Amino acid sequence: MTADASHGEAPPEFVQLLTPEGERVQHPDYDIDLTPEEIRGLYRDLVLVRRVDLEAVALQRQGELGIWASLLGQEAAQIGSGRALTEADMAFPTYREHGVAWCRGVDPVNLLGLFRGVNHGGWDPAEHNFHLYTIVIGSQTLHAVGYAMGIQRDGADAATIVYFGDGATSQGDVNESFIWASVFNAPVVFFCQNNQWAISEPLEKQSRIPLYRRASGFGFPGVRVDGNDVFACLAVTRKALADARSGQGPMLIEAFTYRMGAHTTSDDPTRYRVAAELEAWKLKDPIERVRSYMFKNQIADQEFFDAIDAEADDLGRDVRKRCLALPDPEPLAIFDHVYAEPHRLMDEERAQFGAYLEGFEG
């Protein structure tokens, strides 16, 4: 089960602006005024990233990717927070932030490189202000805080956001990053996607209190948001980033969501969770509620939805085609970029291995 073990304290609060049924609701602290065009844009983002994710799962099943970490179910948390960023803000992802990557303008094919095994990361972090995927759980939280300390020293009008999951909150690095951010009042937003499962371990293996409440012990605010509500995720993250940029320090956002798929394509969730749980969360789907809201409020017509579906299919086909065309690196690329400056051991071993390979030619 995914219930919070609140131990007699007040029940968790929860920022929601759009119900699972597609009804707009108000919140005293957070609201958002979106134009129909912005709403259509968010819907498009949600559908396209889900389609890219679906294609990647299929590519893995067909042996074209070694593994894939699906974002299914977490689209609203990622698009809502990702669209809250300004160009100057810097994002530090885990390996599941395909939706945030989309918002930062990273070509989806570049996400596939590390899962296909042609590289460990295929985009320029500085070009997109989107750092490389970090696989060691929670390490990137410290990088984000350090980067935010750099922003402070530069006097720049920017903030960082760092993504991590519920499991990561048990890591020492994450807790150290909370301390650093608090002590130095760093402009960083901690965006925790609580998708209820750290591979097979449910939240109660990580925490006895709602995760967002951990922030108060470190001396900064925490808030829980409906992670399947793209409007709420956008509103809350936008406010947190604005506060961080204006010198009000860090904030923890717990996006309460659900990992609808497996941890990765190598995982089998039927071994540790019941089907009814997934069925319950399907009723809270992050895309359906936006679609429903748009229909009801005549923000889009069937023609729009059909066009987005067609665009998604085109994108899926394009991603597949270009994934298959990703070239395997040359063997001697093993020695490239290990060091930024000349390094004689690399030179020596590259030459030796090159000569060895040449022995097979001719």
Of 233, 209, 180, give the one whose Cα is nearest residue 16: 233
Query: Which part of the chain contacts another protein (CB under 8 A), choosing from 142-150, 200-208, 238-246, 353-361?
Result: 142-150
Question: Alpha helix (H) ranges present in the chain?
Answer: 36-61, 75-82, 98-103, 108-116, 125-128, 139-154, 172-183, 214-218, 230-245, 275-282, 288-296, 302-324, 344-358
Question: Considering only residues 13, 124, 301, 309, which one is a binding residue for another protein as defined by CB under 8 A?
Answer: 124
Assess 107 for contact with another protein (CB under 8 A): no
DSSP output for 267-324 = --GGGTS-HHHHHHHHTT-TTHHHHHHHHHTTSS-HHHHHHHHHHHHHHHHHHHHHHH
Nearer to another protein, 208 or 343 (CB): 343
Total residues belonging to the chain: 362
Q: Tell the burial category of 171 from Cβ atoms under 10 Å away from its Cβ (0-12, 13-18, 19+).
A: middle
Which of the stretches 55-63, 217-225, 283-291, 341-349 binds another protein when contact is defined by CB under 8 A? 341-349
- In the set 176, 277, 288, 318, which binds another protein (CB under 8 A)? 176
Among 3, 10, 126, 355, binds another protein (CB under 8 A): 126
| Binding residue (CB under 8 A) for another protein from 12, 22, 146, 221 | 146
Residue 49 C-beta: closest distance to another protein, Å: 23
| Segment contacting another protein by CB under 8 A, of 136-144, 241-249, 271-279, 353-361 | 136-144
Active site residue 289: no
Active site residue 272: yes
Distance in angstroms (rounded) separating the CA atoms of residues 115 and 60: 9
Give catalytic status of residue 263 as yes or no: yes
Q: Does 93 participate in binding another protein (rule CB under 8 A)?
A: no
Q: Which among 93, 113, 112 has a CA at the least distance from the CA of 103?
A: 93
State the residues that interact with another protein by CB under 8 A: 119-122, 124-126, 131-132, 134, 136, 139, 141-151, 153-154, 172-173, 176-177, 179-180, 183, 336-341, 343-345, 348
